[in-house]
Amino acid sequence: MSNPAPPMATPPNSGGGMPKWLIILLVILLIVVLGCCGAFAACRWACAKAGQAVSSGIQAATQKIDDERKRQGIEVDLSGKGLAVPAEFPADIPLYPGFKILSKAIPPGTRAGSIVLSGSASPSTLSSYYEKEMASKGWKQESATADQQSFAQSYSKDDRTTTISGDGAGSTSSLQIVFGAK
**Per-residue pLDDT tens for 21-62?**
877 877 777 677 666 666 666 667 777 777 787 788 888 888
**Per-residue pLDDT tens for 103-160?**
999 998 888 999 999 999 999 999 999 999 999 999 999 999 999 899 999 999 999 9
pTM beyond 0.75? no
- Which of 39-48, 73-82, 141-150, 165-174 has the largest mean confidence? 141-150
| Separation in Å, CA 2 to CA 5, 6, 7, 8, 9 | 9, 12, 15, 17, 21
* pLDDT value at residue 40: 67
pLDDT bracket for residue 6 (50, 70, 90): low
Question: If DSSP codes are grouped into helix, strand and coil, which group holds residue 46?
Answer: helix
Amino acid, single-letter form, for residue 152:
A
Closest CA to 70 of 105, 37, 38, 99: 105
